[in-house]
């Protein structure tokens, strides 16, 4: 599968229901994706359950070696995977986009393979002895989103396989080909039945996956509303859950910053993947003393970042993945305009143009309770809110139900860390936003979900802890 045509042919359905898949940048037909049903899901769970005992019986070293071989396979197919991802999701090949996402898949696989999780001695006092072991759960259901359809799938798949579980993956309905291609490449080296994928609607296949008594763990990245439905659906079976849900991340800029020095990092914190990232910077609070200067440098940098068709090598911003998301962004920007906020960049889409392109948009002098601030836009529109009182802005940052990430920007790291301690978020970055490391736990607070991914905590999250005492 070292070229695009071979990769696409390997995942094109030969029989059964299928649907057309179109490029969100050009409208061109990419190919067809299968539309599977609950019977297909049950067959996939059958395969996963049958394969799990033998997979768990392998040593940790043997499973890790196979994960390294899967990473090798991804790297060998990196360019066709990136091309397919760009065509289906819309993100450009270059910048922190398609090629970056595919390479991250290999990095996270290798990290999961190499992260040790030894037996922990809990008590050893001469009279009592207890150890903590981490056993496989069984079958893990992995439900990936459409914004980072390969990388986030690997976040779910890699630790699950590492710990001796088998996986039934369900890709997002609008990025089905990306999920199928990733699994097909990995299954060139993995034992049969260990990694399975079912491409069907969330309302049927996804619902049945979360309700299945044979699935011991569900990992889901997506909206808070869907996460709540998964919690309800899984309740009867007390299914273990890791949920990474919606975010509306706040950034607080203190008055001592160098506005020119932070402009690029502010931009990418907000506009990575054209703003379609759960932990992107989605509302920026800037102190009045540096407000105009920060805005000036941020807008200047944003103007230099080209947007267009993802396969054009010069572009670093692409279209929104689907028209529904385009309409959400448009509605929120229009709400800001109607309120009297000042659009300093963008905000003027060509609705008749080909593709789901919404221009890079920065909105200034906006009320902190405008819809564009309060709702997660999940697109290339950033509200920049002026503040003067630090306690008040911390209150604004914390007042929403979301708590995935946040950031503090300051020349004084100690002062920034003191503010970070007051923010209700799973991760608080200092002088950056959204950067992730495969060994650093990641997850949300409040209604942004629960559970942690990555590193040792991520391995423990897909295992059943067992105390052996005596």
Where does the pLDDT of residue 124 fall: very low under 50, low under 70, confident under 90, or very high at 90 and above?
very high
Separation between Cα atoms, residue 295 and residue 329, nearest integer Å: 21
Inter-residue contact 199 to 19 (CB < 8 Å)? no
**Is residue 435 one of the residues assigned to a domain?**
no
Q: Smallest Cα–Cα separation from 19: which of 32, 37, 36, 10?
A: 32
Separation between Cα atoms, residue 66 and residue 457, nearest integer Å: 22
**Is residue 75 one of the residues assigned to a domain?**
yes
Per-residue pLDDT, averaged over 376-404, amounts to 98
What value does the mean pLDDT of the chain take?
97
pLDDT value at position 185?
98
**Is residue 439 one of the residues assigned to a domain?**
no
**Is residue 120 one of the residues assigned to a domain?**
yes
Where does the pLDDT of residue 1 fall: very low under 50, low under 70, confident under 90, or very high at 90 and above?
confident
- Domain span including residue 389: 249-430
3-state SS, 152-191, equals HHHHHHHHHHHCCCEEEEECCCCCHHHHHHHHHHHCCCCC
Instruction: Please identify which residue in the block is written with the tokens 């490029």.
Output: 23
* Domain match, 222 and 336 both: no
What residues act catalytically?
Answer: 244
Inter-residue contact 251 to 406 (CB < 8 Å)? yes
**Is residue 440 one of the residues assigned to a domain?**
no
* Domain match, 228 and 301 both: no
* Domain match, 220 and 295 both: no
* Domain match, 232 and 254 both: no
Separation between Cα atoms, residue 462 and residue 469, nearest integer Å: 22
Looking at the chain, the number of H-run helices and the number of E-run strands are 16, 20
Query: Any idea what the Cα angle at residue 333 is, between residues 331 and 336, rounded to 5°?
Result: 110
Q: What's 136's domain CATH number?
A: 3.40.605.10
* Domain match, 196 and 66 both: yes
Separation between Cα atoms, residue 199 and residue 171, nearest integer Å: 6
* Domain match, 119 and 198 both: yes
* Domain match, 235 and 289 both: no
Separation between Cα atoms, residue 320 and residue 271, nearest integer Å: 12
Number of domains the chain contains: 2
Inter-residue contact 339 to 372 (CB < 8 Å)? no
- Tokens standing for residue 56: 């768990």
- What is the percentage of the chain residues whose pLDDT exceeds 90? 99
**Is residue 180 one of the residues assigned to a domain?**
yes
* Domain match, 265 and 326 both: yes
* Domain match, 61 and 159 both: yes
Q: What's 412's domain CATH number?
A: 3.40.309.10
**Is residue 436 one of the residues assigned to a domain?**
no
Where does the pLDDT of residue 468 fall: very low under 50, low under 70, confident under 90, or very high at 90 and above?
very high
* Domain match, 267 and 241 both: no
Sequence-ordered list of residues with C-beta below 8 angstroms from that of 16, at least 6 positions apart, any chain: 34, 35, 36
* Domain match, 421 and 454 both: no
pLDDT digits (tens, 9 = 90+) for 206-247: 999 999 999 999 999 999 999 999 999 999 999 999 999 999
pLDDT digits (tens, 9 = 90+) for 311-350: 999 999 999 999 999 999 999 999 999 999 999 999 999 9
pLDDT digits (tens, 9 = 90+) for 265-297: 999 999 999 999 999 999 999 999 999 999 999
pLDDT digits (tens, 9 = 90+) for 28-44: 999 999 999 999 999 99
DSSP 442: B
pLDDT value at position 192?
98
By CB atoms closer than 10 A (0-12, 13-18, 19+), residue 350 is exposed
**DSSP string covering 263-304:** HHHHHHHHHGGGG--TTSEEEEEEETTTHHHHHHHHHHHHHT
pLDDT digits (tens, 9 = 90+) for 411-435: 999 999 999 999 999 999 999 999 9
- Tokens standing for residue 284: 């920026």
Separation between Cα atoms, residue 203 and residue 359, nearest integer Å: 32
Residue 309 confidence (pLDDT) above 90: yes
Inter-residue contact 23 to 357 (CB < 8 Å)? no
Sequence-ordered list of residues with C-beta below 8 angstroms from that of 213, at least 6 positions apart, any chain: 236, 237
Sequence-ordered list of residues with C-beta below 8 angstroms from that of 388, at least 6 positions apart, any chain: 287, 288
Output b/e per residue, 160-182; b: 16+ Cβ within 10 A.
Answer: bbbbbbbbbbbbbbbbbbbbbbb
pLDDT digits (tens, 9 = 90+) for 43-93: 999 999 999 999 999 999 999 999 999 999 999 999 999 999 999 999 999
* Domain match, 146 and 257 both: no
**Is residue 438 one of the residues assigned to a domain?**
no
Separation between Cα atoms, residue 292 and residue 270, nearest integer Å: 18
Residue 2 confidence (pLDDT) above 90: no
């Amino acid at each position: 599968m070292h070229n695009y045509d071979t990769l696409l042919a390997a995942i094109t359905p030969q029989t059964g229901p299928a649907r057309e898949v179109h490029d969100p940048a050009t409208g061109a037909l990419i190919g067809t994706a299968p539309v599977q049903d609950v019977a297909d899901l049950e067959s996939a769970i059958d395969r996963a359950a049958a394969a799990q005992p033998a997979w768990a019986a392998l040593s940790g070293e043997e499973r890790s070696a196979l994960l390294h071989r899967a990473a090798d396979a991804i790297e060998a197919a990196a360019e066709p995977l990136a091309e397919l991802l760009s065509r289906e999701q819309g993100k450009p090949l270059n910048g922190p986009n398609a090629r970056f996402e595919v390479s991250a898949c290999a990095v996270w696989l290798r990290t999961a393979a190499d992260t040790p999780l030894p037996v922990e001695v809990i008590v050893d006092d001469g009279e009592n002895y207890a150890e903590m072991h981490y056993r496989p759960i069984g079958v893990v259901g992995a439900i990936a989103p459409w914004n980072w359809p390969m990388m986030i799938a690997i976040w779910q798949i890699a630790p699950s396989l590492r710990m001796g579980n088998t996986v039934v993956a369900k890709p997002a309905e609008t990025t089905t080909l990306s999920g199928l291609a990733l699994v097909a490449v990995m299954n060139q080296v993995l034992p049969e039945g260990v990694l399975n994928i079912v491409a069907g609607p969330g309302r049927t296949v996804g619902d049945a996956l979360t309700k299945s008594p044979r699935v011991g763990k569900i990992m889901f990245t997506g909206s808070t509303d869907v996460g709540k439905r998964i919690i309800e659906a899984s309740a009867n079976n007390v299914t273990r859950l890791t949920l990474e849900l919606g975010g509306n991340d706040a950034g607080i800029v203190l008055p001592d910053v160098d506005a020119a020095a932070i402009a690029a990092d502010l931009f990418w914190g907000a506009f990575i993947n054209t703003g379609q990232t759960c932990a992107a910077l989605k509302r920026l609070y800037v102190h009045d003393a540096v407000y105009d200067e920060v805005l000036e440098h941020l807008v200047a940098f944003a103007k230099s970042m080209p947007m267009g068709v993802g396969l054009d090598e010069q572009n670093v911003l692409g279209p929104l993945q689907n028209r529904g998301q385009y309409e959400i962004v448009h509605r929120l920007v229009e709400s800001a305009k109607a309120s009297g906020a000042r659009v300093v960049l963008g905000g003027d889409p060509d609705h008749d143009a080909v593709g789901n392109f919404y221009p890079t948009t920065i909105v200034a002098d906006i009320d902190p309770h405008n819809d564009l601030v309060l709702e997660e836009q999940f697109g290339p529109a950033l509200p920049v809110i002026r503040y003067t009182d630090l306690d008040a802005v911390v209150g604004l940052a914390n007042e929403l139900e979301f708590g995935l990430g946040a950031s503090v920007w300051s020349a004084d790291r100690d002062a920034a860390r003191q503010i970070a301690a007051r923010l209700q978020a799973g991760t608080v970055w200092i002088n950056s936003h959204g950067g992730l490391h495969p060994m650093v736990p990641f997850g949300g607070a409040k209604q942004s979900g629960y559970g942690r991914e990555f590193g040792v905590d991520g391995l423990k999250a897909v295992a059943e802890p067992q105390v052996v005492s005596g």
